[in-house]
Amino acid sequence: MSAHAAPTAAAAEELFTTLTGHAPEGLWSAPGRVNLIGEHTDYNDGFVLPFAIPHRTVAAVGRRDDDRIRVASTFADEPVEVALDDLHRLFPTPAGEAPRVAEWAAYPLGVAWALREAGVTGSGVDIALASDVPVGAGLSSSAAIEGATASALNDLWGAGLDRVALARIGRTAENDAVGAPTGIMDQMASMLGEPDSAIFLDCRSLDAVPVPVGIVEAGLAVLVIDTRVAHAHSTGGYRERRASCERGARMLGATSLRDVSVDDLGRAESILDDVTFRRVRHVVTENQRVLDTVRTLREQGARAIGGLLVASHASMRDDFEISVPELDTAVDAALSAGAIGARMTGGGFGGAAIALIDRDAVGAVTDAVHAAFAASGFSPPVMFTVTPSEGPRRDA
Ligand code: GLA
């Protein structure tokens, strides 16, 4: 077990034992992720390049001798318990409404429900969750919960589903149980994580290719700058951006924005209103930037992708309009302090930025970002470095 997961595993195991009075049958864990590039492209059938991070959610799980499911977590006060046969009374959550259970519980219960909807059944279970993936930071703490729960139930219920199928189960939980209209990037990144590689994912075919990033070999580090500005994707801006993309595709006669290329943007500008055009331009150019980043990583290495990261951030700030002042400050301060590239990562409206920097510059960039936040009167950000890490595993 990696040093990173050990305290989290101990916390999950202890919570399980306190809850049930006996030891769990096993511990399953799954990671959060950062996205190197390719934002808001996944639900447009496009390309993304995320990698799993060392931070993980651990599920301590044991079967019960009845048909009830109970979930508890170190990040909530009260466990939630329900009969497995009653899950379909809770879900799906009607579009735009809050789940009928506490939101955190909708992730693991939603996974159990989605598995049952897919024809997988099994006995009742107790599930105790602990996590060191920061919540609300845009690092997919939710995909980590889904991945750990889905991996545990896959084993204990003898489902034998592969990792792509489990990613789909996680996405169903996110979309239909939690009610967040997200794409499949986060679940695929968590499920397919590999040390030293990012996952080049075609969100239409779900073909996934590991792309070695060579960050360590190049003497670089990826610094996460968590602004602590909380975001939620079940409401508001995320849903509205997705609707704009779908409207834009429809007006251009395309099945999805995946089928619109950079060469089509002139025609798109003459057809679409200004706001819809800029939403479309972000997605179309971002897909191209993912392809360019993969090629650049392969041909020239990580030091050469900085300009693509910076262009991605500008597109999200100016065309897609999902950045916030704290994210822009983080990116600008990191670049001024010598970062090779920087951009917000994840859905936006808060959360985290990433900066690609020389390993020797971690201290200087961290200081510069802290100083810039203080000068703007923002609360201090939380910063740490990450390296591409493995996907789900059984820890005990
Ligand atoms: C969130 C969603 C993903 C993706 C990103 C933006 O993380 O969960 O599906 O849309 O935002 O790229």
207: CA distance to ligand 1 center in Å?
18
pLDDT band at 136 (very low <50, low <70, confident <90, very high): confident
Q: Whose CA is nearest to atom 11 of ligand 1?
A: 347
> What backbone phi and psi angles, to 5 degrees, belong to 201?
-115, 130
pTM of the model: 0.97
What's residue 1's pLDDT? 44
Which pair of structure tokens corresponds to residue 158? 């003898």
Residue for token pair 């919570």? 15
Q: Facing residues of 291 across strands?
A: none
Give pLDDT, residue 64. Answer: 98
Identity (one letter) of the amino acid at 32? G
pLDDT at 235: 61
Which residues are CB-contacts of 243 (< 8 A; sequence separation ≥ 6)?
none
Determine the atom of ligand 1 nearest the C-alpha atom of 143. Answer: 8
CATH code reported for the domain at 213-386: 3.30.70.890
* Domain positions in the chain: 6-210, 213-386
- The closest-lying atom of ligand 1 relative to the alpha carbon of residue 184 is 9
Q: Give residue 101's region: left, alpha or beta (phi > 0; psi -120 to 50).
A: beta
Q: Ligand 1 centroid vs 211 CA: distance in angstroms?
A: 20
pLDDT of the residue at 4: 60
Read off the DSSP letter of residue 379.
P
Measure Cα distances from 116 to 58, 70, 110, 147, 239 in Å. 22, 16, 10, 16, 27
354: closest CA among 4, 373, 3, 362? 362
| Average pLDDT score over the chain | 96
Contact between 365 and 336 (Cβ < 8 Å):
no
Under a CB-based contact definition with an 8 Å cutoff, are residues 345 and 226 in contact? no
CA of residue 138 to ligand 1 center, whole Å: 8
Indicate the SS3 state at residue 93.
Answer: coil
Q: Residues 222-237: pLDDT tens digits?
A: 999 999 998 766 568 9
- Does the structure show a pLDDT above 80 at 376? yes
For residues 339-368, give the mean pLDDT: 97
Phi, psi of 133 (to 5 degrees): -85, 120
Asked if 27 and 148 count as a contact pair (C-beta separation under 8 A), the reply is no
Is the distance from CB of 105 to CB of 71 less than 8 angstroms? yes
Per-residue pLDDT band for 216 (boundaries 50, 70, 90) equals very high
Over residues 69-76, mean pLDDT: 96
Over residues 258-262, mean pLDDT: 98
Residue 42: CB within 6 Å of ligand 1? yes
Runs of H (alpha helix) within 157-236: 163-172, 185-191
CB contact set of 113 (below 8 Å; sequence gap of 6+): 87, 88, 90, 91, 173, 177
pLDDT confidence of residue 194 = 97
Query: Locate tokens 């735009």: which residue?
Result: 96
- Quote the DSSP letter at residue 43: G
Identify the pLDDT of residue 95.
85
Residue 186 among the catalytic residues: yes
Beta-carbon neighbour count of residue 70 at 10 Å?
19
DSSP character string of 216-267: TTTTEEEEEEE------SSSTHHHHHHHHHHHHHHHTT-SSGGG--GGGHHH
- Predicted confidence (pLDDT) per residue in 6-54, tens digit: 899 999 999 999 999 999 999 999 999 999 999 999 999 999 999 999 9
pLDDT exceeding 90 applies to what percent of the chain?
A: 94
Is 160 within 8 Å of 355 (Cβ atoms)? no
Q: Which atom of ligand 1 is nearest to the CA of 140?
A: 7
Q: Are 344 and 353 in contact (CB under 8 A)?
A: yes
* Main-chain phi, psi angles of 168, to 5 degrees: -65, -40
With a pLDDT cut of 70, the percent of the chain lying above it is 98
Question: Probe ligand 1: pick from 233, 290, 323, 327, max atoms within 8 Å of CB?
Answer: 233
42, 45, 176, 186: the catalytic one is: 186
Tell me the residue type at 20.
T
Residues 6+ apart with CB under 8 A from 273: none
Structural Rg of the chain based on CA atoms: 21
Q: Which amino acid is at 252?
A: L
| 55, containing H or E segment | strand 50-63
pLDDT value of position 396: 86
What is the CATH code of the structural domain delimited by 6-210?
A: 3.30.230.10
pLDDT digits (tens, 9 = 90+) for 292-339: 999 999 999 999 999 999 999 999 999 999 999 999 999 999 999 999
Q: Is the CB of 45 under 6 A from ligand 1?
A: no
Ligand 1 atom nearest residue 48's Cα: 12
Which element (helix H / strand E) includes 309? Answer: helix 306-318
* 3-state SS assignment for residue 83: strand
| Alpha carbon distance 298, 12 (integer Å) | 40
- CA dist 336 and 319 (Å) reads 23
Confidence class for position 96, pLDDT limits 50, 70, 90: confident
What is the rounded CA–CA span in Å between residue 100 and residue 24?
28
| CA-closest residue to ligand 1 atom 10 | 40
Q: What average pLDDT does the segment 164-191 reach?
A: 97
Report CA(359)–ligand 1 centroid distance (Å).
28
Task: Kindly state if the Cβ of 186 falls inside 6 Å of ligand 1.
Answer: yes
Residue carrying structure tokens 């360019």: 292
Q: How far is the CA of 248 from the centre of ligand 1 (A)?
A: 19
Q: Is the pLDDT of residue 5 over 80?
A: no
Pairing of strands 220-226, 197-202: unpaired
